Amino acid sequence: MRKFNNPFLLGAISAVLAVTLFTGNSFLTTIFAGAFSNQPKEIRQGVSLGLLRRSQVNQQSLKMPQTKMRFANMLLSALQLIDSKYQTISDLISSGIITESGMTKYITRKEVFETLCRSAEYFMTKAKSIQTPNMVAVNYSDYQVPAKYAKSAYYLQYKFIVRGKAESKFDPESTVTLREAVYFLQRFYEAISADMMAKKQPDKICFIDLPMDHFMMKTIRNLVTEGAFDKLMLSPTFDGDSYMNKTDFSEMVAGILERSGKEVSIVRLKTLFTEKDPENLTRRELALGLEYLFDELQSISRNISQSISYKDVAGDSPEYVALIKLASANIRLGYVNSELRPLEKVSRYETVTVLNKLMIALHGAPREMEEEIENKPVQKEDIQRLENIIREKQARIRRILGSAPTHY
C-alpha cells in the first residue's frame, strides 16, 4: 500500500485474526488454528482480504451467482490492497478495466477472465511492477483468447489464477459464483503481490501475507538459519492459520537435523505420525517430532525427571515422555487449563512458534531475539499492548478497505 512502508497488508490482518495464548512462567507463546483453518486457502484469505464476510462462508452464500457490480467491488478491494491507483468503480470504468454496460447482470467466466487480463496489463505495462515471459496464452476448446490479451492471459494461466475445466474447456458463458469470484481474486492478489515482493526483496525469504516487520518474521528467519526451510517448496503465502501438513513438518525436522550434521532416521520420522488423518499434524504428533529433535540436538544435561500434569494425557503414553523433555527446555504445549488436546490439529503458526522456541533452547537465541525471550511471566501491560496493536491494525484495515462491506 502506498500508505505504509510495506505494500502488503495481509500480515497485519493475520495478526488481528491470530489467537495468542500466554502460558504461565514459560516463555512459550502459542498461536492456535483459527475457526476457518479447515477452509480452502482462497476462502480463508478471501475473508482476510475483505472479499467476503465470515457469515458468507457457507454453501448457500458461496453458490450465489455474482453480478458484474458485485465483482467490480470485490476487484476494487483487491486492487486497493496492492499498489494501485484505482479508488472507485468509476476509476475502473474510465480506465477500461470494467465496461459500464450490464452492471446488474450476472458476470460470466469469460467476462471475469478478460477483466483480470486488463487488470494484469496495468501491472505489466503501466505500473511495470511485474514481468512475464514473452509467451502467449493457450486457447480452450470452447473459448479463443483474444489476441490483444495474449500476454496477460498467459500470465493468468502461468500463475494458475485462471484454470480450465475438463477436456480443455473453459465454459466461458457460465455465471460466476461467489466462491469462484473469491478464488479468482485471491489468486490474482497472491500472484501480483508475490511478484512485486520478489522484485523488491529478491534475496530474502518473504511471504506476501507477512510484512518483513511482522512479528512472525523473526521466528521464520531464525528457522531459516537452522535449516527448517531447506527442503520445503515455499508458496507465496505463509498461510499461518492453516493446518500444518505432516509432510512439510517432516521436511522441516529433516532439514534442521541435516543442517546440524545429524543423520535423519526416516523410520523414526514415519513412526511419529500415527493418527488417521493422513495430512494434518496433531499436537500429539508435534510433541513427538519435537522430542526427536530434542534427543538428537541437546548438548547439555537437563533435568527431565520433573513432573507435569495434563488432564488428557496418560502417564504411560509416548507423548507424556515427550512433554516432560520439552518442559525441561521450558516449553509447555497445550492450553492454560492443563489440557493438551492431543488430537487437535495444529496451525502453521503454532508449529513454527514452538519449533523456534525449541531451537532457541537448544542452540541459543539469535541476537535480534535475545531481548524477547526473558523467562518471566507475561504482565498485564504486555497483553494490553498487544490489544492496542490489534486495534490499531483493525483501524488501518478499515481505512484501506472502507467501512464494513455492504455490497455483497
Asked whether the predicted pLDDT for residue 2 surpasses 60, the reply is no
SS3 (DSSP) at 116: helix
The number of domains in the chain is: 2
Strand partners, 248: none
SS3 (DSSP) at 84: coil
- β strands within 309-362, DSSP E: none
- Tell me what pLDDT residue 388 has: 59
Residue 180 sits in the same domain as residue 145: yes
- Tell me what pLDDT residue 403 has: 41
- Tell me what pLDDT residue 408 has: 28
Residue 108 sits in the same domain as residue 210: no
Most confident of 7-11, 127-131, 192-196, 254-258: 254-258
Asked whether the predicted pLDDT for residue 76 surpasses 50, the reply is yes
Q: Which three cell numbers stand for residue 344?
A: 487437535
Q: Which three cell numbers stand for residue 251?
A: 521436511
Comparing 142 with 33, which gets the higher pLDDT? 142
Average pLDDT over residues 352-361: 94
Residue 266 sits in the same domain as residue 240: yes
- Tell me what pLDDT residue 67 has: 97
Question: pLDDT digit string (tens) for 365-398?
Answer: 775 554 444 444 444 455 555 555 555 555 555 5
- Tell me what pLDDT residue 82 has: 81
List the alpha helices (DSSP H) in 163-301. 178-200, 215-226, 246-259, 266-271, 283-297
Give the domain range for residue 327: 205-381
Measured at the CA of 221, the angle between CA 220 and CA 227, to 5 degrees, comes to 85
Query: What's the whole-number average pLDDT of the chain?
Result: 80
Tell whether 6 is covered by a domain: no
Residue 346 near residue 244, CB atoms below 8 Å: yes
pTM above 0.85, yes or no: no
Least confident of 207-211, 261-265, 313-317: 207-211
Average pLDDT over residues 276-301: 87
Residue 187 sits in the same domain as residue 216: no
Residue 327 near residue 342, CB atoms below 8 Å: no
Residue 194 sits in the same domain as residue 213: no
* Distance separating alpha carbons of residues 337 and 108, to the nearest angstrom: 51
- Tell me what pLDDT residue 199 has: 76
Asked whether the predicted pLDDT for residue 26 surpasses 60, the reply is no
Average pLDDT over residues 128-143: 83
Per-residue pLDDT band at 275 (split at 50, 70, 90): low
Residue 326 sits in the same domain as residue 375: yes
- Tell me what pLDDT residue 393 has: 52
- Tell me what pLDDT residue 391 has: 57
Average pLDDT over residues 66-73: 96
Question: pLDDT digit string (tens) for 154-178?
Answer: 999 999 999 989 889 999 999 999 9
Residue 247 sits in the same domain as residue 318: yes
Residue with cell 505420525: 273
Q: Which three cell numbers stand for residue 219?
A: 521466528
Asked whether the predicted pLDDT for residue 1 surpasses 60, the reply is no
Asked whether the predicted pLDDT for residue 24 surpasses 50, the reply is no
Least confident of 200-204, 275-279, 318-322, 354-358: 200-204
Asked whether the predicted pLDDT for residue 404 surpasses 50, the reply is no
Give the distance between the most distant pair of CA atoms in the chain: 74
Residue 177 near residue 46, CB atoms below 8 Å: no
Residue 168 sits in the same domain as residue 210: no
Tell whether 152 is covered by a domain: yes
Residue 37 near residue 176, CB atoms below 8 Å: no
Tell whether 29 is covered by a domain: no
Tell whether 7 is covered by a domain: no
Q: Which three cell numbers stand for residue 110?
A: 469469460
Alpha carbon distances (Å) from 128 to 56, 83, 135, 311: 35, 11, 17, 58
Measured at the CA of 106, the angle between CA 103 and CA 109, to 5 degrees, comes to 110
Tell whether 309 is covered by a domain: yes
Comparing 330 with 64, which gets the higher pLDDT? 64
Residue 187 sits in the same domain as residue 218: no
* Distance separating alpha carbons of residues 210 and 216, to the nearest angstrom: 8
Average pLDDT over residues 172-194: 94
Average pLDDT over residues 253-260: 93
Residue 239 sits in the same domain as residue 372: yes
SS3 (DSSP) at 140: strand
Tell whether 21 is covered by a domain: no
Tell whether 114 is covered by a domain: yes
Question: pLDDT digit string (tens) for 202-236?
Answer: 567 778 777 677 778 889 999 999 999 998 877 78
- Tell me what pLDDT residue 374 has: 45
Residue 225 sits in the same domain as residue 350: yes
Residue 53 sits in the same domain as residue 119: yes
Tell whether 305 is covered by a domain: yes
